[in-house]
Every structure is written in C-alpha cells, then in structure tokens.
Amino acid sequence: MDTITLIGMASVISAGLTIAIGAIGPALGQGRAVAQALSAIAQQPDESNNITRTLFVGLAMIESTGIYCFVVSMILIFVNPFWNYATALAGG
C-alpha cells in the first residue's frame, strides 16, 4: 500500500471518528440542558421566559461544538494538507 492510499484512508477514518465523537457530546449536553430547563420551568412557571431565553443561548453554545467537529472533518476530507505533501513526494 502506498503513502497516498494510507493518507486517504487515515483522512476518511479520522473524519468519521471526528463526526462520531463530536456528535455524542453535544447530543448528551443538549438533552441534559433541555431536561434541566423543563424541570426549572415546572418549578418556576413565572420565570419561563428567562429560562427559555437562557436555554436557547446555551443550546447554541453547545451546538457550536458539533459544528466545529463537522468543519474539522470536512477539512480532513477535502482540504487535507498532508495530501498535497504526499502527492508532491510521490511525484504526482
């Protein structure tokens, strides 16, 4: 197996792992945040507007982690800096 094939395989595998692991954390965090927000709204219905607003800001912050993992995986697949280095060494 040549180096170009190895770099291609490593890029695809690491992109897949990045998405897989990067999706688990935000999903668990969002589930817990929503559960806690619903519990807080059930205990204090008068503060539901403030709790909901804070919940949406928190969910956006949590979701940004998943988006960063997606961006990293797209970079690994489409704009891999090692790919250009390997093709230059291989003479292609």
DSSP state of 80: -
Spatial distance between the Cα atoms of 21 and 71, rounded to a whole number of angstroms? 14
Tokens standing for 45? 């219905």
Task: Please name each of the domains of the chain with its CATH number.
Answer: 3-80 (1.20.20.10)
Q: Are 7 and 86 in contact (CB under 8 A)?
A: yes
pLDDT given for residue 81 in this prediction: 75
| DSSP code, position 90 | H
Mean pLDDT of the chain: 88
> What's the predicted TM-score (pTM) here?
0.71
Q: Under the phi-then-psi rule, with left for phi > 0, alpha for psi from -120 to 50, and beta for the rest, what region is 2?
A: beta
Task: Quickly count: other Cβ atoms within 10 Å of residue 7's Cβ.
Answer: 16
Q: Which two tokens stand for residue 23?
A: 């999706």
- pLDDT digit string, tens, across residues 43-59: 999 999 999 999 999 99
- Summarised one tens digit per residue, pLDDT across range 14-39 is 889 989 998 999 999 999 999 999 99
Reported as a pLDDT band with limits 50, 70 and 90, residue 67 is very high
